[in-house]
A = this chain, B = another copy of it.
């Protein structure tokens, strides 16, 4: 897996450089919001979404490090950060820490956290617009909207502390987490000019690893240590979050995550060597628990 580690490091560096170039400096007026946006964006994420964009781009014939997938990946990270900032707000998950650091509304204030999230969302669309591909913007907006990430967050919040079945948890995971991971993959393919059929296969791969990613997160929340997680272990259970282990048990959750990763890789088996990095990224999601 040393290849994957090096790959992820190189993409993270490209992504961080792009984010640094694309986000207004901390001194840009009004400085408070730009400080918040940078604080949350550079909080130590692994940039897995940009890795997926780059790997899909390469699988469809693109060259590693091209500015198109790099800027698109940076925009995706801004959108992901926007969603984390709003999810952490007192009226939502009311989280004080993320990755071991105070959340945006704790480090700054609530009004600035709402506006900083909004600002990241809007700059991301500006960055995507400058790539000149309206179809890519539509794809990402669909993944984020009320039939995607936002819809998943609504159901997640409304399900808290209520008895839910597996179907609801699958909905939440597919929309809240998998939709943007899937879009990270598909826009890599779209930017590379992949034919619709190839993009569809990559989308299926993206959906599966996306749901697996969240199932693994649920498992880690139960089994991980506070140090590993950057937050208290068992916090999902404490607040009555709709999680996979809560509705299916731990064994079935692990089996399900494995099945999703396996079938995701089968979906792109036809890519042969071109799909190596995508398969390794899927495996990377799996090994966090096994």
| Interface, chain A (partner B; CB < 8 A) | 24, 28-30, 32-34, 37, 82, 86, 89, 91-92, 109-112, 114-115, 117-119, 121-123, 125-126, 128-135, 137-138, 141-142, 144-147, 150-151, 153-155, 157-158
Assess the B145–A119 pair: CB atoms within 8 A.
Answer: yes
Q: Which residues of B contact A137 (CB under 8 A)?
A: 125-126, 128-129, 134, 137
Task: Indicate which residue in B126, B131, B147, B154 contacts A32 across the interface (CB closer than 8 Å).
Answer: B154
Assess the A126–B141 pair: CB atoms within 8 A.
Answer: yes
Number of copies: 2
CA–CA, A121 and B122, complex, Å: 8
Assess the A109–B126 pair: CB atoms within 8 A.
Answer: no
Assess the B134–A114 pair: CB atoms within 8 A.
Answer: no
CA–CA, A111 and B91, complex, Å: 5
Assess the A135–B145 pair: CB atoms within 8 A.
Answer: no
Known: A86-B114, A126-B141, A137-B129. A119 touches B33 (CB 8 A): no
Residue of B nearest to A131 (CB): B134
Q: Which residues of B contact A109 (CB under 8 A)?
A: 91
